[in-house]
Amino acid sequence: MSELGLALSMEQISKRFPGTLAVDGVDFSVYAGEVHALIGENGAGKSTLMKILAGSFNDYSGTIRINDRPVDLHTPAAAKAYGIQMIHQELSLAPPLSLAENLLAGRLPRKWGFVLDRKAMHAESRRWLERVGLDLDGDTIVEDISQHEAQLVEIAKALANHPCILVMDEPTSALSRQEVQRLFEIIRRLRRQGLAIVYISHHLDEVLEIADRVTVLRDGRKVATHEIRDVSASQLVELMVGRSVSALYAERSTRPAEVRLEVRRASRYGFFHDVSFKLRGGEILGVGGLSGSGRSELARSLCGIDPLEEGAVLLDGRDITPADYRQSIAAGMVYLSEDRKSQGLALRMSVAENVLSSVIPRQSRTGFYSARSGRSLVRALVGSLEIHPADPARMASTLSGGNQQKALLAKWLATKPEVLILDEPTRGVDVAAKVVIHQAIAALADAGKCVLLISSDLPELVGLSDRVMILRQGKRIGQIDRERCSEAAVLLAANGEGEFVQS
């Protein structure tokens, strides 16, 4: 492996939150010149472990050694001083500033004590940008560069702080395939230079390609650490999940039924164009496509959150083309938003208040409203969706991600929808919650309702949908029926290739 020795060694690390032991006696080490992948389902403790490394907590237990020296990482400043740099999924660049200002923030070169040395700024930022293979000018404004370039600038910014340990959290989430390859080249180069790299990702193929070793976490504990050449993707999945995955998607019996929802030539110019489809009662229609293909935009316009510039929406033959979202909800078409924290749940309110928030107008025909009248409804939903803890008075923010997502689903199930549009219904959710959510979606369809499922989780999209419609650059380019639907087929079609694309 590496003759350079351990750059980082974490021994018996634990971190307790109210109600959970998020990290439980984990050992984790990285050699200099090694890429060590850290994988696990959401909520397995990856991000908590890395937050400990970043100095976010002053109350973890266990020993951390950096270059064989025991250290206390109780503040972010301490972590930085020991050469630990993080690159997060969410970019941390200030959009209105130039690349140079972002890269050299806090230590901008000056002359005569106070005047910015533009020339030095330019030269130095240029140097760091070249190191990540970017041919950009330091004066470029962050707003003007692409997501992928921003990701690389983020890495350059971390490198500019001379790290010895670099943590990359889902660095490829916004990148295309070619861009991922470019990123990997840079990672390999950094590895040769002796940097210790922690690589967190959900994409097992990436992990298998770039990592030297892999550590799997589950429920806050370390399950295993392996040399990458000793493991396969399916082994990793089993380690992560703790059981076989095939049980996840039960076969649904689909019965032919009447067309209930019809969307005719829907357009919102610049987002999606001329999209038509029909949805039968009891059918789950998947919407596949790359990010930026207009999937969420289509969903939001169909139910009136964003404007629908052309086209019509018909439910059971009745025109329900909405002017605003309230009309759509009244007509029985609801949208489960993709970002539960900022768009889905009011985190400071209780589970019951959140669940009932979607039915306030319905429960108060006279203007008077009491949450009490919905108590049995909330209890039934909390029970059927196995929301844990099963306490409707609990503040939503104290729930785990999976239970928050269940609460969000409960909020929209409370409206007794005829058409349920789901946008990434299980993003950032643990496996157990995923199963419950999938069962609830299937049950809704079995009751004769229509489900439109948008998901980037390909196994979910393929496993749950009766049909998958493919969007690309805002246009409907084809569809795949259940018999021939596979992850590969969806991915290929989403890229505009393969047999299912109709020109």
Identify which of residues 151 and 296 has a Cβ nearer to another protein in the complex. Answer: 296
**Nearest-approach distance from CB 414 to another protein, in angstroms:** 11
**Nearest-approach distance from CB 160 to another protein, in angstroms:** 29
Closest CA to 335 of 409, 444, 261: 409
Identify which of residues 235 and 363 has a Cβ nearer to another protein in the complex. Answer: 363
Cβ atoms 129, 155 nearer than 8 A: no
Identify which of residues 6 and 432 has a Cβ nearer to another protein in the complex. Answer: 432
Q: Provide the sign of the torsion angle of the four alpha carbons 297, 303, 309, 313, taken in this order.
A: positive
Identify which of residues 397 and 502 has a Cβ nearer to another protein in the complex. Answer: 397
CB atoms within 10 A of CB 358: 18
Q: Give me the residues that bind another protein (CB under 8 A), please.
A: 16, 18-22, 24, 43, 45, 219-220, 305, 325-326, 328-329, 335, 337, 342-349, 353, 356-358, 360-361, 363-364, 367-371, 388-389, 395-398, 400, 411, 430
Residues 6+ apart with CB under 8 A from 443: none
Identify which of residues 42 and 172 has a Cβ nearer to another protein in the complex. Answer: 42
**Nearest-approach distance from CB 286 to another protein, in angstroms:** 22
Identify which of residues 387 and 450 has a Cβ nearer to another protein in the complex. Answer: 387
CA distance 335 to 325: 9
Cβ atoms 129, 136 nearer than 8 A: yes
Cβ atoms 395, 407 nearer than 8 A: no
Cβ atoms 356, 349 nearer than 8 A: no
Identify which of residues 223 and 349 has a Cβ nearer to another protein in the complex. Answer: 349
CA distance 287 to 266: 15
**Nearest-approach distance from CB 329 to another protein, in angstroms:** 5
DSSP 465-503: -SEEEEEETTEEEEEEEGGG--HHHHHHHHTT-STTB--
**Nearest-approach distance from CB 125 to another protein, in angstroms:** 32
Cβ atoms 297, 502 nearer than 8 A: no
**Nearest-approach distance from CB 277 to another protein, in angstroms:** 23
CA distance 161 to 165: 11
HSE of 103, CA atoms in CB hemisphere, 13 A? 33
**Nearest-approach distance from CB 322 to another protein, in angstroms:** 10
**Nearest-approach distance from CB 299 to another protein, in angstroms:** 12
Identify which of residues 85 and 328 has a Cβ nearer to another protein in the complex. Answer: 328
CB atoms within 10 A of CB 4: 13
Identify which of residues 42 and 465 has a Cβ nearer to another protein in the complex. Answer: 42
**Nearest-approach distance from CB 430 to another protein, in angstroms:** 8
Residues 6+ apart with CB under 8 A from 43: 219, 400, 401, 402, 430
Is cis: bond before 389, omega within 30 of 0? Answer: yes
CA distance 31 to 12: 18
Residue 398 DSSP code: G
